[in-house]
Amino acid sequence: MRRHLWNKRVPMEQDEMKKIGQELEYKLTSAKLQQTSSELLNEEEIEKEMAGIRKIALQQMKKSIYNWRPLHLDAYLSVVYMSSHLLSNYAVWYSIMSEISAIDPEFRPQNVLDFGSGLATSVWAINEIWTSVNEHYCWDHSVDVCTLARLLLQEGKADADMVFPGVYFRQQLDKEYSKKGLRFDLVLSGHTLLELPTKKTRLQHIDKLWTQTKDYLILVEIGTPHGHSLIEEARLHILNTYKNTKHSGHVFAPCPHEKPCPVVSERSKACSFEVTYKVGPSQVQKKKVFLESESKKEPKQRSKKGTSVRYCYVVLKKGNLAEEPRAPRCLSNANKQKSSVQCQLCFPDGRVGRAVFTQSQNVGNLVRLAKRSVLGTRLPITGWNQEDLDASSSNATTSDSSVTDSAEHIDSECSQGT
């Protein structure tokens, strides 16, 4: 199941399929006309030939077009999904929640809406980070997966209370939410965009979630170009549609800018991140998931440090963007040389560039921070030469305290799980 979901693609729009079908039909018709003798065919023969051409075109389309189908989890597939995705989903949510808590320590969510909650791993992750949540609404169209998620929260005992109070499961979003204008401090939607059939339904889904968001909206997809394209689609839709309105917002993470993703436009790759997790010898009881960030090529790879999974995400926050400078983010692990450190960064001006750190620029342990940087690290530096991103980082400025604090934060992250 993991491989099946990892290879899932964006469903093709009906207009695109119709265009491909017409092009195939035209190509086959032209080839047939060249093979046909100059004698004129009657209408019956022409109709027969065209029917054969349409049949061949349909067969070729089925072979060339991705056969998208939504995921339906019954009782058996819910257990299969649990065995393959329970730990990785929890690790992803925990990593994102930890980042929000670290950047915005004053945020204390009271109520949460999880659309496409699945096994409700977000409930465990959120309660690990915050103890302030009173209501957690979990929506999923599968009754079986909701039943399994509830049993996990009841520690396998159907008549027991849930580990965390205030968790409610729904198969349909209550209309009362929209009628009463109820909004949630934190709204989540993980691995749901690829399950929606058209762009129109995806954008309607995003609009519904955004209007019910009070503070933060988190969208997560698989770490492939297809998953990232839908994250970028939703991100730009919210930024452009709700600009200068009462529902306006900005990107909180991971992007340090509001512009189109430079990774897609310049590299044709996915801007994905990675989390590594490992558990104790028993997976029956709840174990602490240790998180690290490191570069791997496989979607799930076991090593001495644990099992890694790649994902794409965006965190959008309601309200206007603060005026303080934003920190660039590392797009890969640091490339350590003998006398310097090179980092590939995504800059606040919406471009990707290479920064070079040398010992002569070691302000506030800046080089030490760069050496410890991994995929996803935020470097607290400002004052870059925007005209030449490949130049030296001599124009960068930062405070000693911010760099020292960031270095200590990275050290603590890297020491987890050892």
Q: Where exactly are the structural domains of the chain?
A: 2-64, 75-318, 329-415
Q: pLDDT tens for residues 84-117?
A: 899 999 999 999 999 999 999 999 999 999 999 9
**Whether pLDDT at 316 is above 80:** yes
Q: pLDDT tens for residues 75-87?
A: 999 999 998 899 9
**Whether pLDDT at 259 is above 70:** yes
Residue 159 neighbours by CB distance under 10 Å: 5
Q: Is 223 in contact with 310 (CB distance < 8 Å)?
A: yes
User: What three-state secondary structure class fits 249?
Assistant: strand
pLDDT of residue 327: 86
Cα 351 from Cα 259, distance rounded (Å): 9
Q: Secondary structure of the chain: what % helix, strand, coil (to 5)?
A: 40, 20, 40
Give me the residue label for tokens 């009070």: 214
**DSSP letter (8 states) at residue 195:** G
What tokens were used for 313?
């995400």
Give me the residue label for tokens 């028993």: 282
Residue 103 one-letter amino acid: I
Cα 100 from Cα 97, distance rounded (Å): 5
Cα separation values, 398 from 326, 334, 394, Å: 12, 19, 11
Task: Report the range out of 242-256, 323-337, 344-358 with the highest average pLDDT.
Answer: 242-256
The CATH code of domain 75-318 reads: 3.40.50.150
Helical spans, DSSP H, in 281-396: 366-372
pLDDT of residue 76: 92
pLDDT of residue 176: 53
Q: How would you class 171 by CB atoms within 10 Å of its CB: exposed for 0-12, middle for 13-18, buried for 19 or more?
A: exposed
Cα separation values, 302 from 280, 296, 298, 299, 415, Å: 14, 10, 10, 10, 19
pTM above 0.85, yes or no: no
Mean pLDDT of all residues in 275-285? 61
What tokens were used for 129?
């980070």
